[in-house]
A and B are shown apart, each in its own frame.
Chain A
């Protein structure tokens, strides 16, 4: 089992569980991740989803799997590789409740992008972030898409072009991380946040997530109006 799923009080925790391989995830794991996030969000009592990892690493990227003999076409690549990756990002984006990443160690490539795609990232001081894909001349456009409107664009460009690793403090300065805590206090920090979230009304949490998701893509006046509509809807239903 490369993914473990637990639920308590409306908070679903999805744990990457391949510590001996640095929590490198295969395409099937990504499909499973997207499905697990989707299912967690469907629960009527859903309040938040947590992505966490067992072992030293958060996620050292994707497991490319065995190379096929024939060179796949662009369309085959889309269906077999690219769509499942984007599907994992999209599941987080479309989740009706906030998704929190708990990053306790290195988050590389896909690992960095999936953390970035989350609404909140809590990182330990042992967390590291990098986008090393250009090492093999792969333009990490999928990972970049998960950083758009979340991480300062110049940091995203720097991570891609330099292939450098940054620490949690640096990541927090540029928007990739919400909160950095000493490694030993990571679970405690998550517990504090999830306890607060668990005591909130699902309708209010859903409105927050819906607005965070949609408003950045609306023109300014429409975004303001949409915010007003969501708030009025929640107030009227309480």
Chain B
């Protein structure tokens, strides 16, 4: 496999996919989404591999979909946006749909699209310094994969999404049911690997069928149709374009993404209900 934005390693029947753009906080660009699919295809096809871990290189899991790339590509109109959002959604849901268990090993920022990806994994293990959240609404964007309400309660999901909360600590995420375990800083990958080895010792057919049964529980409750409906709504949000998003992108193009984020945060300074 010729990979440029992710790394893929295998050991003890466990595959580890590392989002590998640490200089950009592992922001997920188009190439990375393709490579995630490529690695998932390979894991699916490889009978030797029984578990897939996904983690981030450097200090963060990932900051989400690559806004800089979006800023430069300037997708516009429903047709262009559909392609962008379908790719985002499909890469995220690969971790839910993969026939083998998936574990997210998280440290640092795990935001927006990356938070959704970590939630779509079967298991999520986080270092104490992990920060989860969905900041989208604060810069005029919508939610691509509306998986948060399926993982926690409606009040909690709405609070996080309405407020664009992007600093949910690992301890809080654990309380909300977004993750499985909190481990000391630097230990997230070791803990994920330990659990992966345990899972890899189980008969893979039994594991595959059992994952299917659990996934089916949510799909019978309408999860897929609900996610599809939310994706369609996000398509409208993005292709319509909110004034906040336009301004955010304008500042980002003129003064850089950092300035745009500072502008965004200044708008909400002193207004965060915590």
Contact = CB atoms under 8 A, between A and B. Distances in A.
A153 interface: no
Given A233-B78, A234-B78, A237-B78, A222 B229 contact: yes
Interface stretch (A19-27, A170-178, A180-188, A223-231): A223-231
Contacts of A233: 78, 82, 232, 235-236, 239
Nearest to B235: A233
Given A229-B236, A232-B236, A233-B82, A222 B77 contact: no
Given A75-B205, A75-B209, A230-B232, A222 B239 contact: no
B217 to A, nearest CB: 16
Interface in B191-223: 205, 209, 222
Interface residues of A, number: 16
Interface string B55-96: 000000000000000000000011100100000000000000
Contacts of A219: 222
Interface residues on B, range: 10 to 19
Contacts of B235: 229, 233
A237 B240 CA distance: 10
A233 B238 CA distance: 11
Contact of B229 (A225, A236, A237): A225
A58 B222 CA distance: 36
Nearest to A230: B232
Contact of B79 (A203, A217, A225, A229): A203
A218 B205 CA distance: 32
Contacts of B228: 214, 226
Contacts of B78: 233-234, 236-237
Contacts of B236: 229, 232-233, 236
B259 interface: no
Contacts of A234: 78
Nearest to A44: B83
Nearest to A76: B205
Interface in A191-223: 203, 214, 217-219, 222
Interface in B254-272: none
Contact of A229 (B205, B209, B226, B233): B233
Of the listed residues B77, B82, B229, B233, the one surrounded by the most CB atoms of chain A closer than 10 A to its CB is B229
B159 interface: no
B225 interface: yes
Nearest to A219: B222
A230 B209 CA distance: 34
Contacts of A237: 77-79, 82, 239
Interface string B164-192: 00000000000000000000000000000
Nearest to A222: B229
21 contacts: A75-B209, A214-B228, A218-B225, A218-B229, A219-B222, A222-B226, A222-B229, A225-B229, A226-B229, A226-B232, A229-B229, A230-B232, A232-B236, A233-B239, A234-B78, A236-B77, A236-B239, A236-B240, A237-B78, A237-B79, A237-B82
Interface of B: 77-79, 82, 205, 209, 222, 225-226, 228-229, 232-233, 235-236, 239-240
Interface of A: 75, 203, 214, 217-219, 222, 225-226, 229-230, 232-234, 236-237
Given A214-B228, A222-B229, 13 more contacts: A75-B205, A203-B79, A214-B225, A226-B228, A229-B233, A229-B235, A233-B82, A233-B239, A236-B77, A236-B236, A236-B240, A237-B79, A237-B239
